[in-house]
Chains A and B, each alone.
Chain A
């Protein structure tokens, strides 16, 4: 039987990977994919604890997160397309119009 710590370790590794991807990569699409990785890291964590604690609540939340991730991906891609039309670029560094 695989111990809980192994699941948590994998989850943490995935989450760090995703976070670094969000912070470091410059391509908007890859940033979006990194976010998905982070969400899946959270899912692994939730399911692992759900199994460990023998509660179905964790799995329920995981299902919700999958649904939200799908919605987020759709909206994120839509935003990317709109921005790309205006800027002909998916470079995150050029997208600094969220200020004043």
Chain B
């Protein structure tokens, strides 16, 4: 029963993809969206059934859906592994996915390509489910590429917009770099273990030399860094905000970008055997968390602020992985999925209310006009800022505490500073959007309206999850989630930490978050001229941040432009050298053909025509004989008989 349910989970959305993709034009938008979210709903229900089963029996399932490739050493099945880790991922993916699908029905209402949108969204669900459910690296990779493809398709949803098309290509190309690393890791794993199944690989981990473990872990890390938008491959994520807002929420905040974290936790056995790789993971996470937060301080596009905050939060998860706090990383992944989906969707609601305006400099004073959106955005903000008892506090504090108690003081410092900045820029967003005086133009202001129930409903569910989600991991390090994930991720360090230290760290974290709030309140509510004055005073720093440290420009200079130059040079080579050769050969063939045409025309055809014409002339003479008059023929017959008689006579006489 559970086996069947597991097989069904990715099949429901796949069915919707097939129906909507091939027949979607034949029926109404209502049917299309019902199919889309209905299929995700069914997946969600199946997931819950599987989850309850695993919760009760405590065992994990390996189900072979289809025997795919076999021969020699290689056996690859389309098989699923459902253990507690997969379960949590499945619940997040299908649960948050379902809410966002329902929200999209309202948000995308009236868009052209409505059915296309839901087809891509469902295809994304299929890929993401394969990604988290696969029991071997190949299925993981299929899902990995599938979500990349859907990300590309959905970022470029408004494909007639140049910036969207460019952002889509950028996301695709940058992800390709990561995927190349991931592919190398898969090759290395196969060479070393002669198998690609997780369980078999992890069982043989002891045979791996430390150097090889480091190599594999680093290759995996390259893949994770690409997909989860960490330094140095994070540049695609902010641009990915060109896609519709539900896409940003589902793919570029809640699920796809966390695939890297999931992959590292899934492969934590490999990472555990390489301290070097672990240190690099942690450092990348810490730097990204702080770096992205600083950029988020000055951005003016509501979705871009959230995008940088996503990069930053993913940095926390990487940091958690790097210090061995896998459960905490997954915990943060889960709570982040709740509150970041909430934030993106409420941001979508704000954009919806303002008829497409995304610039926070042109907002303000919205709290009374769209009260539900305001309340829910506030919940999301408090959750991400890390103020207890909302979800973000518990998970983020656990990563911070783990860093501190395991003596990663530098990482702790970076993460704590990042948390301060996070709190600051989120409340800055809050104040600029919802409080103060309105800076909207008159026309937009008249049309401000609260979103319909189909949008607000899912937001409320996410709001509740953002408030209560943190208690799944309460009390810290011994919560329900930790015990549930213990068979997969381990309990992290076995350090006996005094309760006093834990409480102190919690208080510090809360203090940091509140300090961020207070700063934001001072700058954007009390002393409104302060931000501009500061910007003037630290002009160099301000412009650097506003231009995102010129990283995009740097990459353009180092990679994109040289590649383009190389492309132009190859184009020239192709045009003049290769095409030249080809043209020369073609001309030669042309000449030969012309010669043989001449020979055929005048020699062969001439001969044939001469024969034909000869026959023609002869025939013209001969046909005079056939006059068509009976008595001529009779005369010929008579003459013939006469001649015959004479001949016979002559012969007889001989």
Contact = CB atoms under 8 A, between A and B. Distances in A.
Nearest to B624: A99
Interface residues of B, number: 11
B629 A23 contact: no
Interface in B597-632: 623, 626-631
A92 B634 contact: no
B540 interface: no
A15 B638 CA distance: 12
A96 B628 contact: yes
Contacts of A93: 629
Contact of A23 (B626, B628, B638): B638
A97 interface: yes
A95 B638 contact: no
Contacts of A97: 628
B635 interface: yes
Contacts of B627: 96, 99
A22 B631 contact: yes
Given A96-B628, A96-B629, A97-B628, A23 B623 contact: no
Residue of A24, A97, A99 contacting most chain B CB atoms (<10 Å): A99
Contacts of B633: 98
A98 B634 contact: no
A19 B638 CA distance: 9
A52 interface: no
Interface string B43-78: 000000000000000000000000000000000000
A95 to B, nearest CB: 7
B631 A98 contact: no
A31 interface: yes
A92 B628 contact: no
A99 B634 contact: no
Question: Most chain-B CB neighbours within 10 Å: which of A24, A92, A98?
Answer: A98
Contacts of A99: 623, 626-628
A99 B634 CA distance: 15
A96 B629 CA distance: 5
A31 B626 contact: no
Given A22-B631, A23-B631, A92-B629, A100 B623 contact: yes
Contacts of A96: 627-629
A76 B547 CA distance: 112
Nearest to A93: B629
Nearest to B619: A100
Name the residue among B623, B630, B635, B638 with the largest chain A CB count within 10 angstroms: B630
B10 to A, nearest CB: 80
A55 to B, nearest CB: 24
A15 to B, nearest CB: 11
B623 A98 contact: no
A52 B633 CA distance: 35
A98 B629 contact: yes
Contacts of B626: 98-100
A12 to B, nearest CB: 13
B248 to A, nearest CB: 87
A97 B628 CA distance: 5
Nearest to A28: B630
A22 B631 CA distance: 7
A98 B630 contact: yes
A33 B623 CA distance: 30
Interface of B: 623, 626-631, 633-635, 638
Interface of A: 19, 22-24, 31, 92-93, 95-100
Given A96-B627, A96-B629, 9 more contacts: A22-B634, A23-B631, A23-B634, A31-B631, A92-B629, A92-B630, A99-B623, A99-B626, A99-B627
21 contacts: A19-B638, A22-B634, A23-B631, A23-B634, A23-B635, A23-B638, A31-B631, A92-B629, A93-B629, A95-B628, A95-B630, A96-B627, A98-B626, A98-B629, A98-B630, A98-B633, A99-B623, A99-B626, A99-B627, A100-B623, A100-B626
